[in-house]
Amino acid sequence: MYQTRCTDRSDHQSVPLSQTTAINNSEPLILCVDDDEDDRQSVCEVIAELHPTVAIHEVGDGEKALAFLQKVAHEGHLPCLVLLDMNMPRLNGKETLTAIKSDPHLQDLNVVMFTTSSSPRDQLFCEQHGVKMITKPSNAHELQSLIQPLLDECSD
C-alpha cells in the first residue's frame, strides 16, 4: 500500500504508508528521495512522461525512505531504482545509503545518488559503495537524458 502518482504540489500533508494507494506488484517501482519538493516533482514528471507504467513513490528524507523500503521489502516489491539526494536534513543521502547497503534485504538495490554535489570526496564515497553519482541537471531536457537510461534498467 503506497503512493503511485506524483505528489500534488498543493497537498502538503504527509500520508502514512498504511493509508496510501496500493499498486500492482508487477509494475516497476521507483523511489525518489529528495528534500527539495521542486526537484522531486521535476523527476516525477519526467519519469511519468517517459515511462507512464512506472509507479513512483517520493519522500523528503532518508528516514522516510528507509521506513518505506522496509515496508515494501516485507511486501516483496522492492523498487527497481532509488534516486537518492545527498544533502538532506535528518538522515542525509550518505547515511541513508550506508543503511541500505548494511541491510541484507536492501543491499542489492539499484541506488543512484542524484545530487548537486560534484565533490571528489562525494564521488569517491559513491564509488566505494558501488553506486552511480549523477549531478542534477539544470533543465528538463538534460533531466530526461539522464533519467531515460535509468528507466531502461527498470524495464529489463
pLDDT tens by residue, 24-65: 566 889 999 999 999 999 999 999 899 888 899 999 999 999
Count of residues in the chain: 156
Sign of CA dihedral 140, 144, 150, 154: positive
Per-residue pLDDT at 3 exceeds 90: no
- Alpha-carbon span 57 to 73, nearest angstrom: 14
17-155 homologous superfamily:
Response regulator (3.40.50.2300)
- Of 110, 116, 35, the closest CA to residue 78 belongs to 110
More confident residue, 30 or 140: 30
What is the chain's mean pLDDT, rounded?
Answer: 84
Q: What is the mean pLDDT of residues 66-89?
A: 94
- At 12, list the grid cell: 502538503
Prediction pTM value:
0.84
